[in-house]
Amino acid sequence: MVNSTPKAIEDCHELLLWIIPQIDKFPRNHRFTLGDRIETGLLDVLEALVSAAYRRDKSQDLDLAHG
């Protein structure tokens, strides 16, 4: 079976898998503020990429992922 997941989604997922253990190593005062923002931001990007993958008009979702 051929993997049909877009590369951007795979890459974002891999980044999340790598960054979460890195965030756990942050000093406590940064882990809960900066760490949460990083994780939430990447999850938002992943959500927008997944949503865009299944829509005809991808520009709206990708604009949200961009910022």
Give residue limits of the domains in the chain. Answer: 7-66
pLDDT digits (tens, 9 = 90+) for 18-28: 999 999 999 98
Residue 62 has pLDDT above 90, yes or no: no
Angle, CA of 58, 59 and 62, to the nearest 5°: 85
- DSSP one-letter code for 33: T
pLDDT higher at 57 or 39: 39
Contact criterion met (CB below 8 Å) for 51 and 61? yes
pLDDT digits (tens, 9 = 90+) for 34-53: 999 999 999 999 998 888 88
Contacts (Cβ under 8 Å, ≥6 apart) of 16: 39, 42, 43, 46
pTM of the model: 0.74
